[in-house]
Structure 1
Amino acid sequence: MNFRKLSIAALFLTTSGTLFYAQQKNDTVKNEKNIEGVVIRGNTKKGSESNIISIQKKSVEVIERVGSVQLEKQGVGDVSVAVTKATGSQKQEGSGQIFIRGLGDRNNSTTVNGLQVPSNDPLYKNIDLSIIKTDMIDYIGLEKVYNPKLWGDMAGANVDIVSKVYTGKPYFKINLGSSVNFNAINKDNYQLQDGPNFFGFTKIEQPSKNAIANKGYVFKTSWKDSEVNNPFNSNLNFDFGTNFKIGQQGKLSIFGYGGFDNSYEYFSGTTGGSYGAQDDPLRIYSKAEEFKYTTNTTGLVNINYKLNSNHNINLSSNYIHTSEQSLGNYAGFNRDYYDNDVPQTRYVTQLRRATYRTNDLLVNQLRGEHIISEPLKITWNVGYNRLDSKRPDRQQNVTVLDKLDNYSFFASSNPGANNRYYDQLLENDFVGDIRADYKWGEKAKITLGYSGRYKDSDFKATQYNFRILPVQGSYFVDPNNYDTFFNLGNYQTGAFFDIVTFRGDVKFNPEQALIPQSFTSEITNNAGYVNIDYKFSEKLTAQVGVRYENLMQKLKYNTALLEGKQDRDYNKILPAFNLKYSLNDRNNIRLAGSKTYTSPLLLEIAPFEYENVDESTLGNPSNYLADNYNVDLKWEWFPKKNELISLTAFGKYIQNPLARVTINSSSNSTSVMNVGDTGRVFGLEAEVRKDIYDSGKTRLYTFVNGTYLNTEQELDNPKVARENSGPGKSNYSTNFNVTKDKMQGASDFLANVNLGLEQKWGDRNIMDFVVSYSYISDNIYSLGTQNRGNMVDKAFSTLDATLKFKLSNGMGFSFTGRNLINPYFTRVQDNPITGNELVSKKYKRGAAVGASVSYEF
Structure 2
Amino acid sequence: MSSMQKFNISRVGRSVLLALSATTAMMSLNTIAQETTAPTQAEQEDVERISVSGRLMSSAASAAAERREQPYVAELLGMEQISRAGDSNAATALRRVTGLTLVKDKFIYVRGLGERYSSTLLNGAMVPSPDPTRNVIPLDMFPAGIIESLVVQKAYSPELPAAFGGGNVNIRTAAIPLQTTFNVSVGTGYNSLNSDDGFEYAGGGDDWRGKDDGTRGISAELANAQALYGTLTPINIAEALGGINGTNLAQAETIVRELGTAFNRDLDISRTSVKPDFDGSLSFGTRFDLAKNVVFGVMTGISYDRSTQNIEEKERYFSVTGQSLTPLNLYDDIKGTEHQVKLSGMLNFGLELGVDHRIETSTIYLRDTKDEIKIKNGDSIETINEPNRFNTDTSILYEERTMLSNQLRGRHNLPFLMDLAIDWQYTDAKARRYAPSEVEYRTLNETREDGSVFSFVRRNQNAVNYSFSDMNDDTENLSWNAKLPLTWGKAELALTGGYAYFERSRDAQTDRFNFDTVGYTLQQLSGRFSEIFSNDNILDAGNRFKVSNVTTQADDYLAAQMIDAAYGAVELNYDYKFRINIGVRYEDFKQISLPLGANGEVSGSLTDSVLLEDGFYPAVSFTWFINDDLQARFGYSQTVVRPDLREVTPVLYVDPLTDFKVTGFAGLKSTDINSADVRLEWYYDTSNYSIGVFYKDLENPIEAIELSGSDGNLLMSFRNAESGSVYGVEAEFLKQLDMFGGDLGRLTDNFFVAGNLTLSESEISIQRFPGANLTNLERGLSGHSKYVANLQLGFDSDDDKHNATLTYNVFGKRIAFAGVNEKDDAFEQPFNSLDFTYSYTPVNNMTVKLGLKNLLDQNVEILQQGEILQQRTEGQSYSLSFSYKY
| Counterpart code for 1:162 | R
What TM-score comes out, normalization by structure 2 length?
0.84
Deviations 1:566-596 (A, max 9, x none): 2221112111111111112222211101111
CA contact (8 A) 2:198 2:337 kept: no
The change in CA–CA distance for 1:672 and 1:102 in structure 2 (over 3 A counts) is: farther
Q: Is the 8 A contact 1:275 1:829 kept in 2?
A: no
Match of 1:422 in 2: 468
Aligned position for 2:730: 685
Alignment of 1:40-439 (within 5 A): 45=52, 48-92=59-103, 94-184=104-194, 186-192=195-201, 194-196=203-205, 197-203=207-213, 204-208=216-220, 209-210=223-224, 214=255, 215-217=258-260, 218-225=262-269, 227-276=271-320, 278-282=324-328, 285-335=331-381, 338-341=382-385, 345-373=387-415, 374-404=418-448, 406-411=453-458, 413-415=460-462, 418-439=464-485
Is 1:216–1:491's contact at 8 Å kept on the other side of the alignment?
Answer: no
Distance 1:161 1:131 in 2: 12
Partner of 2:501: 452
Contact 1:559 1:608 in 2 (8 A): no
Q: Which moved more, 1:118-127 or 1:531-540?
A: 531-540
1:599 matches 2:611: no
Matched with 1:485 is 532
CA shift, 1:308, in A, is 1.2
Q: Which residue of 1 aligns with 2:240?
A: none
Partner secondary structure for residue 706 of structure 1: strand
1:715 equivalenced with 2:766 (yes/no):
yes
- 1: CA distance between counterparts of 2:849 and 2:682? 34
Q: Name the counterpart of 2:802.
A: 767
Offset at residue 143 of structure 1 (A)? 1.0
Task: Give the aligned partner of residue 500 of structure 1.
Answer: 548
Cα offset for 1:500?
A: 1.7
Contact 1:190 1:231 in 2 (8 A): no
Deviations 1:274-311 (A, max 9, x none): 44373333466522112111111111122232211111
**Cα deviations by residue, 1:641-675 (Å, 9 ceiling, x for unpaired):** 5x331112001100011111111453653434334
Q: Structure 1 residues 139, 609: closer, same or farther in 2, change over 3 A? A: same
Counterpart amino acid of residue 736 in structure 2: D
Q: Please, which of 490, 506, 510 is the counterpart of residue 461 of structure 1?
A: 510
Shift of 1:699: 2.3
CA contact (8 A) 1:11 1:433 kept: no
**Residues 171 and 843 (structure 1), Cα distance of their counterparts in 2 relative to 1, 3 Å cut:** same
| SS of 1:548 mapped into structure 2 | strand
Contact 2:850 2:880 in 1 (8 A): yes
**Cα offset, 1:195, TM superposition:** 1.3
1:805 partnered with 2:819: no
Post-superposition offset of 1:496 = 4.7
Deviations 1:384-428 (A, max 9, x none): 10112111111111121111262123346251x521111001111
Q: Of 790, 801, 823, which residue of structure 2 is paired with 1:752?
A: 790
Deviation larger for 654-663 or 197-206: 197-206
Distance 1:202 1:673, change over 3 A: closer
Q: 1:180 to 1:664 in 2, by over 3 A?
A: closer
Write the distance in 2 (CA, Å) between the matches of 1:239 and 1:760: 29
Q: What TM-score results when the alignment is normalised by the length of structure 1?
A: 0.87
Task: From the superposition, tell whether residues 652 and 760 of structure 1 become closer, same or farther in structure 2 (CA, over 3 Å).
Answer: same
Preserved contact between residue 532 and residue 543 of structure 1 (Cα < 8 Å) = yes
TM-superposed deviation, 1:13: 15
**How far does residue 230 in structure 1 lie from its aligned partner after superposition?**
3.9
- The question of 1:699 aligning with 2:750 is answered yes
Give the conservation status (yes or no) of the 8 Å contact 1:314–1:368: yes
Supply the distance in 2 between the matched residues of 1:448 and 1:12 (Cα, whole angstroms): 7
SS in 1 for 2:165: coil
Q: Equivalent of 1:840, from 860, 866, 869?
A: 869
**What is the aligned partner in structure 2 of residue 794 from structure 1?**
829
Report the CA distance between 1:706 and its aligned residue. Answer: 1.1
2:787, 2:30 → 1: CA distance? 47
Question: Secondary structure at 1:469's aligned position in 2?
Answer: coil
Cα distance, 1:108 vs structure 2? 1.1
Which residue is equivalent to 1:729?
Answer: none
- Distance in 2, matches of 1:605 and 1:704, equals 40
Conserved in 2, the CA contact under 8 Å of 1:52 and 1:66? no
**Partner Cα separation in structure 2 for residue 528 and residue 220 of structure 1:** 52
Structure 1 letter corresponding to 2:807 = S
Aligned mates of 1:607, 1:247 — CA distance in 2: 59
Whole-angstrom CA distance in 2 between matches of 1:284 and 1:302: 55
- 2: CA distance between counterparts of 1:229 and 1:739? 50
Is this contact kept in 2: 1:7–1:452, CA < 8 A?
Answer: no
SS for the counterpart of 1:475 is: coil
Change (3 A) 1:588 1:502: farther
Aligned-residue offset at 1:681:
0.3
Number of aligned residue pairs: 789
- Kindly state the Cα deviation for residue 223 of structure 1 after the two structures are TM-superposed: 1.9
Indicate conservation of the 8 Å contact 1:279/1:838, yes or no.
no
**Letter matched to residue 777 of structure 1:** G
Measured in 2, the distance between the counterparts of 1:95 and 1:274 equals 28
Please list every run of 5 or more consecutive structure 1 residues that lacks an aligned counterpart in the other structure. 16-42, 505-514, 722-732, 831-836
Tell me how far 1:639 sits from its aligned partner: 1.6
SS in 1 for 2:74: coil
Aligned mates of 1:653, 1:672 — CA distance in 2: 23
Deviations 1:521-567 (A, max 9, x none): 11001111111111244211111111111110122112589645422
- Secondary structure of 2:81's partner? helix
Quote the residue 2:6 is aligned against. Answer: none
CA distance in 2, matches of 1:183, 1:704: 30
1:220-255 CA-to-partner distances (Å, cap 9, x unmatched) read 351212554442111111122222223221223322
Q: Quote the residue 2:592 is aligned against.
A: 554
SS of the equivalent of 1:125 reads coil
Q: Structure 1 residues 682 and 398 mapped into 2: Cα distance closer, same or farther (>3 Å)?
A: same
Report the 3-state secondary structure (helix = DSSP H, G, I; strand = E; otherwise coil) of the residue aligned with 1:673. strand
Q: Deviations over 1:127-157 (max 9, x none)?
A: 1111101221221111111111111112111
Residue deviations 1:464-500 (CA, integer Å, cap 9, x gap): 11222137x7435346x21222233323234253212
* Deviations 1:698-753, CA, capped at 9 Å, x for gaps: 62111211111201101211xx44xxxxxxxxxxx321112201100011111111
Structure 1 stretches of 4+ moved >6 Å: 2-15, 694-697
Aligned 8 A contact 2:197 2:274 in 1: no
Query: Aligned partners of 2:427, 2:659: CA distance in 1, in Å?
Result: 38
Separation in structure 2 between the aligned mates of residue 594 and residue 484 of structure 1, nearest angstrom: 64
- What residue in structure 1 maps to residue 863 of structure 2? 828
Number of the residue aligned with 2:703: 659
How many Å separate the matches in 1 of 2:316 and 2:766? 25
Contact 2:557 2:594 in 1 (8 A): yes
Cα separation, partners in 2 of 1:394 and 1:842, compared to 1, 3 Å: same
C-alpha separation in 2, matches of 1:578 and 1:12 = 22
Q: Which moved more, 1:77-86 or 1:804-813?
A: 804-813
